[in-house]
Amino acid sequence: MSDISWLTARPIAHRGFHDMNDERWENTLAAFAAAAERDYVIECDVHLAADGVPVVFHDEELKRLTGQEGKIWQHTAAELAALNIGGTKERVPTLAKALEAIGGRVPVLIELKGVAGHDEGLAESVLDCLSTYSGQAALMSFNHWIIRDLGRNPGQFPVGLTACGRSMADMEAHFSMLAHGISFASYSVDDLPNPFISFLRERLSLPVISWTVRNEAGAERTHRYADQMTFEGFAP
């Protein structure tokens, strides 16, 4: 496994260092620039556009972030690039454009957002974007089929499981993903601690980061039960 000590060395800005979508919106080049200026790791979300291009956007629906009706996978990357984010001058960037703007100044943590029936080739397209990227990066997903797709295309970038829950069924599902070579986990801060996280850290010596920390209580819980936090709404 490649060295991923950078993953826990500094706080991780959730969707970039935005201001809770007041003036500097999430998953925009402005939010990524603000995170890089403060030396935070950048977390971002990626969907597959209609033309197979990975774009940086969190929701499946366009409405919350662009004011437009429709779904992210119904539009090409060029069509999405024409949409304003939150009424600002920021547009929906492709992953390639975001990586170019970040330029390896800080590490990037990319969450692949699967949409069943509309994400074929997402893992491959993201890996293709990263094939010429010289900066530090890691990939993660909630979606087990995406983790399996990434596992079939191993590369230099570590892969993690994004997860939540404390039930027995949750634990069984999460433990099953150990068979696919995950290198870390990103876990809901509200569901710490739990047997899966304890096993990763204590038995496998794998790093665990938390999401999403918005207050001191979340930071303290992360300090006790994980190795680093993914934060928003304040400056650690």
The tokens of 101 are what?
Answer: 């703007």
Mean pLDDT of all residues belonging to the chain: 97
Alpha helix locations (H) across 49-121?
Answer: 63-66, 77-81, 95-102
Q: Tell me: cis bond preceding 158? Omega within 30 of 0 counts.
A: no
Work out whether the CA dihedral 165, 168, 170, 171 comes out positive or negative. positive
Task: Summarize pLDDT for 75-100 with one digit per residue, the tens.
Answer: 999 999 999 999 999 999 999 999 99
pLDDT in tens, 208-223: 999 999 999 999 999 9
For 52, residues 6+ apart whose C-beta sits below 8 A from its C-beta are: 121, 125
The region that residue 104 occupies, defined by phi over 0 for left and psi between -120 and 50 for alpha, beta otherwise, is: left
Characterize 99-136 residue by residue with b for buried, 16 or more Cβ atoms within 10 angstroms of its Cβ, and e for exposed. beebeeebbbbbbbbbeeeebeebbbbbbebbeebeeb
What fold is seen in the domain 5-231?
TIM Barrel (3.20.20)
Average of per-residue pLDDT across 154-175: 94
Residues contacting 177, CB < 8 A, separation 6+: 144, 147, 161
Percent of the chain with pLDDT over 70: 100
H or E segment and range at residue 222? helix 216-225
Query: pLDDT per residue over 10-62, tens digit each?
Result: 999 999 999 999 999 999 999 999 999 999 999 999 999 999 999 999 999 99
Rounded Cα distance, 74 and 7, in Å: 33
- Residue 26 is predicted with a pLDDT of 98
Q: What's at 169, amino acid-wise? A: A
